Amino acid sequence: MSTLGAYFRLGRAGWVMVREGVVAALPGDELDGPARFGWRISKMLARGRARRRERSERIARAIERLGPSYVKLGQFLATRPDVVGHEIAVDLATLQDRMKKFPQAAAVKTIEESIGVPVPELFGKFEEPIAAASIAQVHPATVDADGKTGKVAVKVIRPGVRRRFHRDLEGFFLAARLQERFIPSSRRLKPVEVAQTLAQTTKIEMDLRLEAAALSEMAENIAGDPGFRVPWVDWRRTGRDVLTMEWVDGIRISDIDALRAAGHDPKALAATLIQSFLRHTLRDGFFHADMHPGNLFVEADGTIVAVDFGIVGRLGRKERRFLAEILYGFIRRDFRRVAEVHFEAGYVPAHHDVAAFAQALRAIGEPIHGQPAETISMAKLLTLLFEVTELFDMQTRPELLLLQKTMVVVEGVARSLDPHFNMWKTAEPVVGNWIAENLGPRGMISDAREGVGALLSLARQAPDLVARTERLSREIDAMAEKGLRFDAETANAIGRAEARHTRWGRVALWIIAISAAVIAFRLI
């Protein structure tokens, strides 16, 4: 019944998307066959009320009707412009994760079940919620420590949210499988893998201990950095379903008038924000991936404080080197080197021509050098870069797409603070310093040290590798003599799976037929 329920829930979600005009707003001109026919029908069903609204408003209304799971889906897809397109990704990035607050009594119960201590023993005062999102809501509270009373923010998981997400994820996986089956052109985007990534990301975000760990790791990384920090975590009052952290008194970074009234320099704040983000990305390989204005505050001394670490990004050493080299290559107009970096990293298949790829990159880079530096967007450069690499079969790199999405948001915040913001001049000290340390002589020494460490590790594993090789050789010889055999349990499982696939295929056809009949009846 769960699969049948997934079909019905997916059908309801599709109907809401159609009626709100979201499907009609999608670019469907390149579709063919049943997909194009369905897109045309959706344009008819959207009617005038949807056409009168902007696309971003249509998406927001539809997601609001569908609930918290779809809010998270929208926010996740905002990080995947390769899947939904750049324009749709920008619309999704503006989604406000605001939901109705749940009762304080439910929050108290959740805290006590998670930590195992009565709320009055944990907090001197536990107040009504001040903000609620799809996964959790935040309560102001006070704690007593060392004879002093301090204010904290208590983030509490929404009751029943895991069950709701698990149920809706069935529909997401079903949609991904149908997309792969009926829209062959979408298979290179790997919709099922996208759904699996969403499922894993959501599981992590719903364990508040992991968000606390992200806050702690970031705090260690940036301990000596100027002008940027994160709240401290109260681990004694933190569990899977509750996170207690420092209360931040500050002005939202989007409130420009209030910042100026408090004596802050918006231009200096813009520079601090960008340099901090690039430092986290290149130096640490660990960055806050949800840095929209609602998560950034400015304290009285001008320090920027970032909150809400439910979504974070990581870049390995190879990805960081790739990012630094392509940025540096575009600055120097060395398009051949930028192309070579893509091939060296294995991002573009080796059968493509490096010279042809360099020519495509020149089409991106040359217009940049004819513009004033303050008008050049690093985020737009990355967007154009991914569009070109798609022509050369570059495989989807989720970590780079998450970086691109975050760069778009952070650069947007910086330009709201300073409309004439010079991204390249501001970034140069951080990027240049990283390149000097990692791509120059010091970088070569560091690489050599890592290589020696890898060789020593391989030497320690040599006896185990030899034993595994001998065992594999014996098993291959046995297979060559006797053939490949399944045990009885495996054979039965294959039979059951095939029968189930056939049965649900028939059910799906009936649901499609009934849905078509209902739509036809409504059109009469």
Q: Is it the case that residue 486 has pLDDT exceeding 60? A: no
Least confident segment among 16-25, 34-43, 197-206, 503-512: 503-512
94: confidence class by pLDDT, cuts 50, 70, 90: low
Q: Is it the case that residue 405 has pLDDT exceeding 70? A: yes
Q: Is it the case that residue 261 has pLDDT exceeding 90? A: yes
Nearest alpha-carbon partner for 21 in 41, 1, 45, 4: 45
Nearest alpha-carbon partner for 239 in 130, 119, 150: 119
Cα gap 327→323, rounded to integer Å? 6
Nearest alpha-carbon partner for 202 in 310, 83, 295: 310
- 74-85 pLDDT, tens digit per residue, is 777 776 666 666
More confident residue, 158 or 63: 158
Distances (CA, A) of 230 to 74, 201, 267, 271, 298: 26, 22, 21, 18, 11
Give the pLDDT of residue 522.
44
Average pLDDT of the segment spanning 18-22: 72
- The residues that bridge with 305 in the sheet, in sequence order, are 229, 297
Q: Is it the case that residue 198 has pLDDT exceeding 80? A: no
Average pLDDT of the segment spanning 287-308: 93
16-20, 174-178, 326-330, 376-380: range with highest mean pLDDT: 174-178
Extended strands (E) in 76-135: 125-126, 131-132
Average pLDDT of the segment spanning 312-330: 84
Give the pLDDT of residue 226.
92
- 336-350 pLDDT, tens digit per residue, is 998 998 888 888 888
Give the pLDDT of residue 17.
75
Cα gap 442→433, rounded to integer Å? 12
Answer positive or negative: Cα dihedral of 369, 372, 374, 377.
Answer: negative
Cα gap 374→334, rounded to integer Å? 21
Give the pLDDT of residue 469.
73
Contacts of 463 (CB under 8 A, 6+ apart): none
Q: How high does pLDDT run on average in the chain? A: 78
pTM: 0.72
Contacts of 425 (CB under 8 A, 6+ apart): 373
Nearest alpha-carbon partner for 308 in 227, 403, 230: 230
- 411-434 pLDDT, tens digit per residue, is 889 989 998 888 878 888 888 788
Nearest alpha-carbon partner for 323 in 414, 399, 392, 252: 399
88: confidence class by pLDDT, cuts 50, 70, 90: confident
201: confidence class by pLDDT, cuts 50, 70, 90: confident
Q: Is it the case that residue 86 has pLDDT exceeding 70? A: no
H helices of 67-103, in order, are 68-77, 81-84, 86-93
Cα gap 414→2, rounded to integer Å? 46
Average pLDDT of the segment spanning 380-398: 73
Amino acid letter, 149: T
Q: Is it the case that residue 42 has pLDDT exceeding 90? A: no
Average pLDDT of the segment spanning 178-197: 75
Q: Is it the case that residue 129 has pLDDT exceeding 90? A: yes
Give the pLDDT of residue 143.
93
The 3-state DSSP composition of the chain as helix, strand, coil percent (nearest 5) reads 65, 10, 25
Give the pLDDT of residue 487.
56
Cα gap 5→171, rounded to integer Å? 8
Q: What's the maximum distance between 2 C-alpha atoms anywhere in the chain?
A: 83
User: CA torsion, points 122, 126, 129, 130, in degrees to nearest 10?
Assistant: -110
Element at 228 (helix H, strand E): strand 228-229
Q: Is it the case that residue 222 has pLDDT exceeding 80? A: yes
CA 253 to chain centre: 22
82 is catalytic: no
DSSP string, 487-511: -HHHHHHHHHHHHHHHHHHHHHHHH
* Structure token pair of residue 449: 């040290």
Q: Which of 97, 234, 241, 290 is flagged as catalytic?
A: 290
Cα gap 334→268, rounded to integer Å? 31
Three-state SS for 36-64 is HHHHHHHHHHHHHHHHCCCHHHHHHHHHH
Asked whether 247 and 151 are in contact (CB, 8 A), the reply is yes
46: confidence class by pLDDT, cuts 50, 70, 90: low
Nearest alpha-carbon partner for 417 in 208, 241, 270: 270
450: confidence class by pLDDT, cuts 50, 70, 90: low
Q: Is it the case that residue 245 has pLDDT exceeding 70? A: yes
Average pLDDT of the segment spanning 295-310: 94
Pick left, alpha or beta for residue 395 (phi over 0 → left; psi -120 to 50 → alpha; otherwise beta): beta
- The residues that bridge with 312 in the sheet, in sequence order, are 288
